[in-house]
Amino acid sequence: MTHEGAGRHDERVVGDNAQVPDPYAALHVEVTSTVDRVADELRRAVFDGDLESGTPLRELALAASLGVARSTVREALGVLVGEGIATREPNRGVTVATPDVASVRDVCRARAVLEVAGVRRWAAATDDERSEVRAAVGAYTDAVRRGATYAELNETHLAVHVSLVGLAGSPRLVHMARSLVAELKLVLAQIDRAERNAHDQADTHGALVALLDAGRVEEAAHEIEHHLAAAEQDILRALGVA
Amino acid sequence: MTHEGAGRHDERVVGDNAQVPDPYAALHVEVTSTVDRVADELRRAVFDGDLESGTPLRELALAASLGVARSTVREALGVLVGEGIATREPNRGVTVATPDVASVRDVCRARAVLEVAGVRRWAAATDDERSEVRAAVGAYTDAVRRGATYAELNETHLAVHVSLVGLAGSPRLVHMARSLVAELKLVLAQIDRAERNAHDQADTHGALVALLDAGRVEEAAHEIEHHLAAAEQDILRALGVA
DNA sequence: TTCGTCGGATTGTCCGACAATCCGACCGTG
DNA sequence: CACGGTCGGATTGTCGGACAATCCGACGAA
């Protein structure tokens, strides 16, 4: 992903004219390199289940199939590897990552740390950050009530959790959370959809916000930890752990 | 698709027949690609101050200077960018990252989240993890007493903080902590050495472990937060923030 | 001043090439 | 049959060259 765009031009502090507060905010151009597009396509394929975990990503074949040069594919694969969506073994190539039990546990534990840290800072967060959480929860519950597609439910649900991390007010933590969520999406993409119980967590998330609004932060933190532990168990069970 | 040859040969997950617990542990070969060596060299140069922040990293010049191909340099630069040590502007190239006040604040805040999470799990951590913290603290205090070089003091000191994150028992969190520390090293490499007050935090760290051993976890967490806030102020002051 | 235009420098992408490495099959020996 | 050696194909890692696209600064005209 590597969001972070938002070109922030420096302010020349040379002296007098430091008054103009960027009249051209809210303007941005879409800069899209071929490497980015290839990486996007590969991500999409992985998350949509077109590429099962463990599938080797051959550079030549991908280059031919996508109509780009091998070096371009290679660079895109490097991005995927950096995001943890794929793994590279020296001289053996890149394959779609196969999450094992340990990594699922790890991702969930790390997620808990980040999200709890965010929740604990609810009171200290800005209004912007809080309203973003509310918006994310609203979008998710709306998707549930609307009976949206599985993919959309997933996306909005995970967005709620990322927004919780956003409460900590640290772009880097949010970036880490996104990376963890990407790995989680990889796992979810492998689990047979029928295997997973339907999303019925709209109430849970609403209750979480209610707790926070009531100032019962510690209860909310405990709640989210419980929620994540349950999710971890669900995933491990669906993965068919012995 | 490509159904045919995709025989799902069982991967060498040692899960099943775990009778033989790896008689060949403690054996590993050093696999070092050219890209890795180039990336290492660039990191070294940045952290040693050979490359000031903001310095453009020209692909052709580096390739010629290091005696490797441009594509190799390019890939190494991608790694550096992924680590946050350098930044890439499309069509403008890669430059050594110039940390601003906001990012310093961000890194410190994120660090605090991770380290506090680790400290809070002191009791739940494994003996291995705890002894690793003790070893790191020991190495640092030893370096202080020994009057080691500035670089060594830095390294051992930061290793202590990473080891604290290790208490959480999550490899991914440790990885994130390492990434944050790398960014911090970049900042420290820019600050004139004379500007920084000498390391006298051996006592602080020893006291931290003492608190943890005494089971006063919350005090230790508070202590580390205080410690990090102070370090942030030191850095910002040395950076010459208004 | 402000606005085109031009040339040089650099990146983004492509192509082709080769050695190194890995993998599986085949084969000979004991 | 088990074991070790050899060989060929497939794939990666690295190289070198090439070209269009883009950016930057300077120069010059309105």
Residue B22's pLDDT is: 61
Least confident of A62-71, B5-14, B114-123: B5-14
Give CA–CA dist B144/B64, Å, rounded.
40
Confirm whether A175 is domain-assigned. yes
CA–CA distance, B85 with B91 (Å, rounded to integer) = 19
Run of H or E including A171: helix A171-190
Q: What was the pLDDT predicted at B76?
A: 98
Per-residue pLDDT tens over the stretch A69-95: 999 999 999 999 999 999 999 999 999
Mean pLDDT score of chain A? 87
Q: How would you classify residue B183: left for phi > 0, otherwise alpha for psi between -120 and 50, otherwise beta?
A: alpha
Nucleotide nearest to B90 (CA to C1'): C11
User: For residue B17, what are its two tokens?
Assistant: 């027949």
Nearest chain B alpha carbon to A118? B113
One domain, residues B62 and B157: no
Compute the average pLDDT of residues A89-113: 96
**Closest alpha carbon within chain A to B242:** A13
E-strand ranges in B93-141 read: 93-96
Q: Are residues B68 and B179 in the same domain?
A: no
A-chain residues near B113 (CB < 8 A): 113-114, 117, 168, 170, 173
Judge whether residue B96 contacts strand C, using its CB and a 7 Å cut-off. no
In chain B, the number of structural domains is 2
Question: Mean pLDDT for chain B?
Answer: 87
Handedness of CA B164, B168, B171, B176 (dihedral sign): negative
On whether both A112 and A206 belong to a single domain, the answer is: yes
The answer to whether residue B21 sits within a structural domain is no
A77 and A155 fall within a common domain: no
Mutation site for A-interface testing, chosen from B10, B29, B121, B176 by largest number of A Cβ within 10 Å: B176
Q: Which of the listed residues B50, B65, B96 is the one where a domain comes to its end?
A: B96
**Whether A137 and A65 share a structural domain:** no
Domain boundary among the residues A56, A79, A96 is at A96
Model pLDDT for residues B79-127, shown as the tens digit of each residue: 999 999 999 999 999 999 999 999 999 999 999 999 999 999 999 999 9
Looking at residue B90, its pLDDT comes to 95
Q: Are residues B122 and B185 in the same domain?
A: yes
Question: Which domain CATH number covers A157?
Answer: 1.20.120.530
| Model pLDDT, residue B13 | 37
- Give the CA A203 to C1' D8 distance in Å: 62
Strand order in the sheet with A93-96: A56-57, A93-96, A86-89
Say how far B36 CA is from D24 C1', in Å. 32
Phi-psi category of A15—alpha, beta or left, where left has phi over 0 and alpha has psi -120 to 50? left
Say whether both A112 and A46 belong to one domain: no
Instruction: Classify residue A141: in a domain, yes or no.
Output: yes
Quote the pLDDT of residue A12. 36
> Which residue segment(s) compose the domain that B76 sits in?
34-96
Answer whether residue A24 shows pLDDT above 80. Answer: no
> pTM for the whole thing?
0.87
Q: Are residues A114 and A231 in the same domain?
A: yes
Give the per-residue pLDDT at A207: 92
The pLDDT value recorded for residue B11 is: 35
> Does the residue A155 lie in any domain?
yes
Tell me the pLDDT tens digit for each residue of B213-240.
Answer: 999 999 999 999 999 999 999 899 888 7
A30-43 as b/e: b if 16+ CB within 10 A: eeeeebeebbeebb
Q: Which residue has the tokens 């151009």?
A: A29
CA–CA min distance B139, chain A (Å): 27
B38 and B125 housed in the same domain: no
Confirm whether B11 is domain-assigned: no
Give yes or no: residues B158 and B69 share one domain: no
Q: Do B168 and B67 belong together in one domain?
A: no
**Does residue B13 belong to any structural domain of this protein?**
no
Nucleic strand D under 7 Å from the C-beta of A93:
yes
Secondary structure of chain B: what % helix, strand, coil (to 5)?
A: 60, 5, 35
Q: How far apart are CA A14 and CA A10, in angstroms?
A: 11
Where residue B66 sits, what CATH number does that domain have? Answer: 1.10.10.10
CA distances from B187 to A14, A49, B85, B114 (A): 24, 42, 10, 19
Task: Indicate whether B4 belongs to any domain.
Answer: no
The pair of structure tokens assigned to B54 is 């903001």
- For residues A183 and A235, what is the distance between their CA atoms, to the nearest angstrom? 13
Same domain for B112 and B192, yes or no, is yes
Residue at B171 is within a domain: yes
Band (A240; pLDDT cuts 50, 70, 90):
confident
Give the span between the Cα atoms of B81 and B87, in whole angstroms: 5
Instruction: Report the nucleotide nearest the CA of residue A90, measured to C1'.
Output: D12
Distance CA A173, CA B72 (A): 31
Q: Greatest CA separation found in chain A?
A: 69
Q: Which of B69, B96, B123 is the last residue of a domain?
A: B96
User: For chain A, what percent of residues have pLDDT higher than 70?
Assistant: 86
Question: How far is CA A117 from its chain centroid?
Answer: 17
Query: With a 7 Å cutoff on the CB, does A199 touch strand D?
Result: no
Contacts with A160 (C-beta within 8 Å, 6 or more apart), sequence order: A133, A136, A137, A140, A205
Question: Please, which pLDDT band fits residue A147 given cuts at 50, 70 and 90?
Answer: confident
